[in-house]
Structure 1
Amino acid sequence: MIERLLPGELAWEETRTDPPDAWLFDEETAVIARAVDKRRREFTTARHCARAALAKIGVPAAPLLPGERGAPGWPDGVVGSMTHCAGYRAAVVGLRESVLTVGIDAEPHDALPDGVLNAVTLPAERPRIEALSTADPSVHWDRILFSAKESVYKAWFPIAREWLGFEDADLTLDRDGTFAARLLKTGPEVEGEPLTSFSGRWLADDGLIITAIARLPR
């Protein structure tokens, strides 16, 4: 599914199950030594996907350890993103010479729990979500917005190395499967210009919502 959202510069791997042959480096095993089974399976399968994706761009397997704020540490010269939710795990990678940053997120195609929407949205975003929900109630627009903000953060952090809260990005979703994020926090310079926005794509299909951002060099 996720390939429908990605440019050709990126390699990907996704799965709806936890393969029994998925494995971890000793350093990775130590990270989740005290984790519950659900967390262990998510962590392991996401890295199984990441190593399969890395192989597609000619990068050998290496430990992918959580770093600052939990962001995965990728091999030198690689950008990437991982995601997992109930019944889905995926990873996307690319060479830094071809991709500046990437962020992906997957969520169940279901409404957000009560109270979450107001916690993750700006006042200006809520009427847009309401209008989209009226125009097409078959889509859970609140969950798409939440997922898109997660993708924004995952694309932002490797560049800025700073926290970006839900309140720091103003998102506009379009019914054509795209979204735009206007950053409300001062970002670093990227290719000689301040980072002020991201554009991305979303997909709702087969019980899942997937969002993705890929920023390519000019």
Structure 2
Amino acid sequence: MRTEIADALLRAVLPPWAVGAARADDVSGPLFAVERALCEGAGPRREGEFTTGRWCAHRALVRLGGSPVAVGRGPRGEPLWPPGVLGSITHCPGFRGAALCRAGPARALGIDAEVDAPLPARVRDRLISTDEAGRMRPEVAGERLLFSAKEAAYKACSALVGDGRVPRLAELRILVEPGRHGPGTSGRFRVRVPALTVDLDGRHFEGRWKRSHGLVLTSCVILRPGTEVPRAWRPGTEVPTAQG
């Protein structure tokens, strides 16, 4: 898969006011010194994932209108973005990507990529509820799509509320909007979070998914209450907030 195709797949799951960069193959750099230190001693596979994820992050920062800067790592392994920037990095076999947006209309952003294959039974039984599975069509991507959506939502929640209040993956409930779920299709999903865990409800989550090229990609954005995001908004412009 060419880089432009990987970019297009990631762009398909992002709101129009977010940017991203993706690759199907690994790169060897360049990295900032602080980033190189973070992957010292890692095996070849992990080093490739990390380096290419940072490469995507640097490229996305430029697309957001900034300059490449070192993207550090927080205590939970999360990437550390420049002030005023929200973002997420994901990787799976055949895909690495990073997505960013500016803080303001959004409070958090999470993305996830998965190989389009059945979930292992132990993962399915632990993380996917009977109700969730029952709402999906019986295609291969059904439970994998639910899992990826949970991962993207978890990353967004984790960035927003921090340790101790993040819902577990099994507690996040995903409702995929009706539509075709075959290869090459896309759509949206909703997220329900446990009461008293996050100071938001499902109305503040915007989830999107894409199934193509042997992959399932998802994104989840948590919006500020009362914020109306015009579809034409682009990074660097002001977003009006609903009054009252």
Note whether the superposition's TM-score is higher than 0.5. yes
Displacement of 1:216 after TM fit? 3.9
1:182 is matched with 192
Q: Please give the alpha-carbon distance, in whole angstroms, between the structure 2 residues aligned to 1:211 and 1:70.
A: 20
Separation in 2 of the partners of 1:71 and 1:81? 8
Counterpart residue number, 1:85: 92
Q: 5+ residue gaps in structure 2?
A: 1-8, 180-186, 228-244
Number of the residue aligned with 1:49: 56
Tell me how far 1:31 sits from its aligned partner. Answer: 1.4
The CA deviation at 1:89 is 0.6
Within 5 Å, which residues of 2 pair with 1:10-159?
Answer: 10-20=18-28, 22-129=29-136, 132-133=137-138, 137=139, 139-159=140-160
- 1:185 Cα deviation from its structure 2 partner: 4.5
With the length of structure 2 as denominator, give the TM-score of the two structures: 0.79
- Report the counterpart of residue 17 of structure 2 in structure 1: 9
Q: What is the alpha-carbon distance in structure 2 between the residues aligned to residue 98 and residue 9 of structure 1? A: 10
| Aligned-pair CA distance for 1:114 | 2.8
- Structure 1: which 4+ aligned runs deviate by more than 4 Å? none
Query: 1:148-175: CA deviations, max 9, x gaps?
Result: 0000011111111133211221111234
Is the alpha carbon distance of 1:99 and 1:199 closer, same or farther for their aligned partners in structure 2, counting shifts above 3 Å?
closer
Is contact 1:153-1:164 (8 Å) kept? yes
Counterpart of 2:72 in structure 1: which amino acid?
L
CA distance in 2, matches of 1:199, 1:97: 15
What is the CA RMSD across the aligned residues, in angstroms? 1.6
SS of 1:100's equivalent?
A: strand
Show the counterpart of 2:174. 171
Displacement of 1:123: 3.6
Which amino acid is 1:172 matched to? L
For 1:102-139, what per-residue CA distance to the aligned partner results, in whole angstroms no more than 9, with x for missing partners?
Answer: 1100000111123210011234323224xx11xxx3x4
Q: Which runs of 5+ in 1 are unaligned?
A: 189-193
- The count of corresponding residues between Structure 1 and Structure 2 is 206
Measured in 2, the distance between the counterparts of 1:127 and 1:11 equals 34
Give the deviation of 1:66 after TM superposition: 1.6
Distance apart, 1:61 and its partner CA = 1.8
The aligned counterpart of 1:191 is none
Percent identity for Structure 1 against Structure 2: 33
Question: TM-score, normalized by length of structure 1?
Answer: 0.88
Aligned to 2:201: 196
Asked whether the equivalents of residues 187 and 196 of structure 1 are also in contact (C-alpha less than 8 Å), the reply is no
Q: Which amino acid aligns with 2:79?
A: P
Question: Does the aligned pair in 2 maintain the 1:9–1:98 contact within 8 Å?
Answer: no
Cα contact 1:83–1:105 (8 A) shared by 2: yes
